[in-house]
Amino acid sequence: MARPEDLETRLAALARITRAPSPVASLYLGTRWADEHRRERARVFVAGEVKKARAAADPTLAADLDWVAGEATALIARAEPAGAHGVALFACGPLGLRTTVPLRAPVEDLLVVAVAPHLRPLVEALDATPALLVVFVDGERARLVQVRHAGVGEEVTLASEMPSRHRQGGWALLAQTRYARHTETLRGRHFDAVAATLGELAEAHGVERVVLAGEPRTVAVFRQHLPAPLAAQVVGEVAGAWHEPAAALVERALVALRRQAGAAEAADVDAALTEAAKGGRGAAGVGATLAAAARGAVHRLYLLRTFRAPGRECGACGALAPGDGGSCRICGAVTKAVELGEALTHQVLAAGGAVETVEGHPGLARAEGIAASLRYPL
What pLDDT is attached to residue 80?
A: 55
Q: Report the candidate in 326, 285, 321 with the shortest Cα–Cα distance to residue 303.
A: 285
Comparing 15-19, 150-154, 226-230, 266-270, the range with the smallest average pLDDT is 150-154
Q: What's the CA gap between 322 and 278, in Å, rounded?
A: 24
Mean pLDDT of the chain, nearest integer: 86
pLDDT at 130 over 80: no
Element (H, E) at 237: strand 234-238
SS3 89: strand
Q: What is the pLDDT of residues 322-365, one digit of tens each?
A: 988 788 888 888 888 899 999 999 999 988 899 999 988 999 99
Q: Which fold has domain 132-262?
A: Nucleotidyltransferase; domain 5 (3.30.420)
CATH class for the region spanning 279-374: alpha beta
Q: What is the pLDDT of residues 82-114, one digit of tens each?
A: 456 889 999 999 999 999 988 877 889 999 999
pLDDT at 5 over 70: no
Q: In terms of pLDDT, which residue wins out, 367 or 31?
A: 367
Give the pLDDT mean for 263-291.
94
Q: What's the CA gap between 318 and 309, in Å, rounded?
A: 17
229-242 core/surface letters (b: 16 or more CB in 10 A; e: else): ebeebbbbbbebee
Domain assignments of the chain as residue spans, ordered by start: 7-127, 132-262, 279-374
CB 329 within 8 A of CB 316: no
Single-letter amino acid code for the residue at 233: Q
Question: Fold match between 132-262 and 279-374?
Answer: no
